[in-house]
Amino acid sequence: MVERRAGAAARSRRDPRSCLQYLRSLSQPRAPGEQAGIFAVCSTHPAVIHAALRRAAAGDLLLIETTSSQVNQFGGYTGMTPASFLGGLRERARAVGVPLHNVVVGSDHAGPFPWRAEPAERAMEKARGLVAECVQAGYQKIHLDATMHLADDPGDRRLPLDAPTAARRAAELCEAAETAWHALRQREKDAPPPLYVIGTDVPAPGGTEAGAAPPEVTRPDELRASREMCREAFAARGLEPAWERVIAMVVQPGVEHGQNVIHRYDRARVRDLLSCRRDTPGLVFEAHATDYQSSRALRQMVEDGFAILKVGPSLTAAVRESLFLLDHLEEALAPLHPAMKRSRVPEALEQAMLADPVHWTAYYRGDEAQRAFFRKYALSDRCRYYWEVPGVKAAVSSLIANLRTVEIPAGLLSQYFPRQFLRLVADALPPDPEAIIAAHVDEVLDRYDAAIRLR
C-alpha cells in the first residue's frame, strides 16, 4: 500500500520501503494534510490469502493478521500454529512471486482471550507463550490485548476490566515478546524488533451482536489515560525501547456490523476523539470491524488518522457468496451432465454448523427460521469457522472439480457473475472457478485499496 498525500497525484502501487518500514513510518509526525494508511487482511482462508498475495505480487505492501483464537501455540480453530501459518504463507508468497519484505504478518488481539475461562495465572502464562511463539516464528506486528476478564478476576463482568490491570498485563505480554525477539536474534542476527499496537476499545475477537444504535466512540479522556497507564506499565518493566515501537492505538470510531446491520462511519461523531491526535503528534489509530463500510467512508477514516484498517468477515463473506453462486451454477448445469454428482456446498456447510454450533449459537438470535437464515447470510459470517471441516472442504473441492470438467455457458456466467463475466469476455479473467472466487474477494479489497490511495 502506498502513502496518500493531499493535493498530490496518485502514486504508484509500489512503495520503495519494505512493509515493515512503512508500518514504522505510520507513527512518525507528518505535515498538515499529509496522511498515510494500510489495511490489514484478517483472515486465514486460502482463497482470501490467494487474492491478497496476487495483489502483493503486483507490488503492493501486504499486512496479514491472525487472531489469537484462529492461530496459537495449540493450533487455534484453524489447526495452525504461528510457525505453520507463517511457513505456509511464505511458500504461497514465493509461488506467486511476492517479495517477502513486502509482507508483514501480525497477531491480532494477542493475549489471553482464548483462555479467558481459566484463572489469570494460567491464562496469562498461555498468553505469554502465544506472543513468544508469534515473535519467534517471524510475526512482526503484535496487538497486545489483555483487556478481558479472566476466571478469577474480581469486579462486575458487565463492565470492562479495570484499566490498570489491563495495562499491567499488556506490559507483561510485551516483555514476553521482547524476550522472544532477543532469543530470535541469537539465530537470526538481522531479525527486526516487533512493532506493537495497544488498546482494544472494540468488539471482542470474533465480533459481537451489534445493536440498533451505533457503538460509542472512544472518549478522549479514557484514551489519554489508557495510553499513559500503558506507558507507565512498560517503563516499570524497563520496556522503554519497546514503547518507542508502539505504532498505533486501537480505538472505536463508531463503526461496527452485526447480523443484518451496518453502523457507518460518521465524521461528526469522532471530532473529540481526533483532538487526541492534535495533542499527541505521531499518534495514529487502528480501526477494527471496518467491514462493509463504503469506499468513501474508508477514505475519510484514513484522512482522519485511522491509519490501519482491519477487514476480515466481509472477505470470507465474499468467499461464501461466490461459493453459493457457483453452487447455483452447478445446479443449473447438472441436468445437462447426468454423470455430474452435485457437491451441495450450502447443505454441507449447514450440516457442519449444526453439528458444532459453538461458533454461532451465542451470536444468532431469534426463532429457528431466523437462525437458519443467519447461518447462511449474516454479515458477521460465522460460516468462516467451518470451511476447514472435512465434509465442507470435500464439498468445495467437488464443486470446483465439477465446474472444471464442463464448459460453462456464457449466459450462465452472466446470470450469476455479471461483473466477473465482463472481465471474462475481455480476457481479463480466466473461466476458472477459483479465479472467479478470487475476483469476488478482490472487489472487497478494491474498496480498501481505494481508501489508502489518493484519488
Give the pLDDT confidence of 274-287 residue by residue, as tens digits: 988 877 877 899 99
Domain that holds residue 339: 317-445
Residue 452 domain flag = no
With the CA atoms of 433, 435, 440 and 446 taken in that order, what torsion angle do they form, in degrees rounded to the nearest 10? 180
Residue 306 domain flag = yes
Mean pLDDT across 47-53: 96
The answer on 354 and 304 residing in a single domain is: no
The answer on 268 and 413 residing in a single domain is: no
Task: Write the CA distances from 18 to 21, 42, 60, 98, 428, integer angstroms.
Answer: 5, 20, 10, 12, 29
The answer on 184 and 43 residing in a single domain is: yes
The contacts of residue 117 (CB under 8 Å, 6+ apart) are: 151
Percent share of the chain, pLDDT over 70: 93
Of residues 158 and 375, more confidently modeled:
375
The runs of H, that is alpha helices, within 334-432 are: 345-355, 368-377, 390-404, 410-416, 418-425
| Cell numbers given for 174 | 510485551
What angle, 0 to 180 degrees and rounded to 10, lies between the N-to-C axes of helices 120-137 and 163-187?
40
| Cell numbers given for 56 | 502483493
Instruction: Find out whether 437 and 319 touch, Cβ atoms under 8 Å.
Output: yes
Q: CATH number for the domain including 199?
A: 3.20.20.70
Q: What integer pLDDT is reported at residue 135 of this predicted model? A: 98
| Cell numbers given for 211 | 445493536
- The burial class, CB within 10 Å (0-12 / 13-18 / 19+), for 179 is middle
Instruction: Find out whether 23 and 247 touch, Cβ atoms under 8 Å.
Output: yes
Residue 455 domain flag = no
Instruction: Find out whether 50 and 65 touch, Cβ atoms under 8 Å.
Output: no
Mean pLDDT across 364-382: 96
The answer on 306 and 381 residing in a single domain is: no
Q: Last residue of some domain: 295, 311, 327?
A: 311
Residue 181 domain flag = yes
Mean pLDDT across 124-143: 98
The contacts of residue 338 (CB under 8 Å, 6+ apart) are: none
Question: Which among 31, 40, 35 has a CA at the least distance from the CA of 11?
Answer: 35
Residue 273 domain flag = yes
Query: Can you tell me the distance from the alpha carbon of 18 to that of 29, in angstroms, rounded to the nearest whole number?
Result: 19
Mean pLDDT across 104-114: 97
- The enclosing H or E element of 99 equals none
Q: How confident is residue 20, by pLDDT bands cut at 50, 70 and 90?
A: very high
Is residue 211 pLDDT above 80, yes or no?
Answer: no
The answer on 18 and 109 residing in a single domain is: yes
Per-position DSSP letters for 273-292, written without gaps between them: HHHHHHHSTT--EEE---TT
CA atoms within 13 A of residue 377's CA, in its CB half-sphere: 7
Question: Which among 84, 108, 52, 29 has a CA at the least distance from the CA of 308?
Answer: 108
The answer on 366 and 290 residing in a single domain is: no
Mean pLDDT across 443-453: 93
The answer on 357 and 289 residing in a single domain is: no
Q: What integer pLDDT is reported at residue 6 of this predicted model? A: 33
Is residue 335 pLDDT above 60, yes or no?
Answer: yes
Question: Which among 252, 262, 198 has a CA at the least distance from the CA of 230?
Answer: 198
Q: Last residue of some domain: 311, 345, 371?
A: 311
The answer on 341 and 402 residing in a single domain is: yes
Q: What integer pLDDT is reported at residue 203 of this predicted model? A: 58
**Phi, psi of 177, rounded to the nearest 5 degrees:** -65, -45
Is residue 15 pLDDT above 70, yes or no?
Answer: no
Query: Can you tell me the distance from the alpha carbon of 171 to that of 179, in angstroms, rounded to the nearest whole number?
Result: 12
Q: What integer pLDDT is reported at residue 195 of this predicted model? A: 97
The gap from C-alpha 135 to its chain's centroid, in whole angstroms, comes to 18
3-state secondary structure of 150: coil
User: What type of residue is 218?
Assistant: T
Is residue 11 pLDDT above 80, yes or no?
Answer: no
The answer on 129 and 268 residing in a single domain is: yes
- The burial class, CB within 10 Å (0-12 / 13-18 / 19+), for 405 is exposed
Residue 454 domain flag = no
Q: What integer pLDDT is reported at residue 210 of this predicted model? A: 54
Tens digits of residue pLDDT in 299-321: 999 999 999 999 999 999 999 99
Q: How confident is residue 34, by pLDDT bands cut at 50, 70 and 90?
A: confident
The answer on 266 and 160 residing in a single domain is: yes
| Cell numbers given for 290 | 471496518
Q: CATH number for the domain including 435?
A: 1.10.400.20
Mean pLDDT across 43-61: 94
Is residue 455 pLDDT above 60, yes or no?
Answer: no
Percent share of the chain, pLDDT over 90: 85
Mean pLDDT across 118-128: 98
The answer on 101 and 246 residing in a single domain is: yes
Number of structural domains, the chain? 2
Which of 108-117, 130-139, 214-223 has the weakest average pLDDT? Answer: 214-223
- The pairing of strands 62-67 and 103-110 is parallel
Q: How confident is residue 7, by pLDDT bands cut at 50, 70 and 90?
A: very low
Average pLDDT over the chain, rounded to an integer: 92
The answer on 16 and 111 residing in a single domain is: yes
Query: Can you tell me the distance from the alpha carbon of 455 to that of 453, in angstroms, rounded to the nearest whole number?
Result: 6
Question: Which among 420, 396, 397 has a CA at the least distance from the CA of 408?
Answer: 420
Tens digits of residue pLDDT in 134-182: 999 999 999 999 999 999 999 998 888 999 999 999 999 999 999 999 9
Q: What integer pLDDT is reported at residue 2 of this predicted model? A: 32
Is residue 220 pLDDT above 50, yes or no?
Answer: yes
Query: Can you tell me the distance from the alpha carbon of 231 to that of 341, in angstroms, rounded to the nearest whole number?
Result: 61
Residue 30 domain flag = yes
Q: What integer pLDDT is reported at residue 13 of this predicted model? A: 44
CA angle 280/281/286 to nearest 5° reads 80
Q: How confident is residue 14, by pLDDT bands cut at 50, 70 and 90?
A: low
Residue 406 domain flag = yes
Q: What integer pLDDT is reported at residue 70 of this predicted model? A: 96
**Residue ranges with strand state E in 288-363:** 306-311
Q: Last residue of some domain: 266, 287, 311?
A: 311
| Cell numbers given for 229 | 497507564
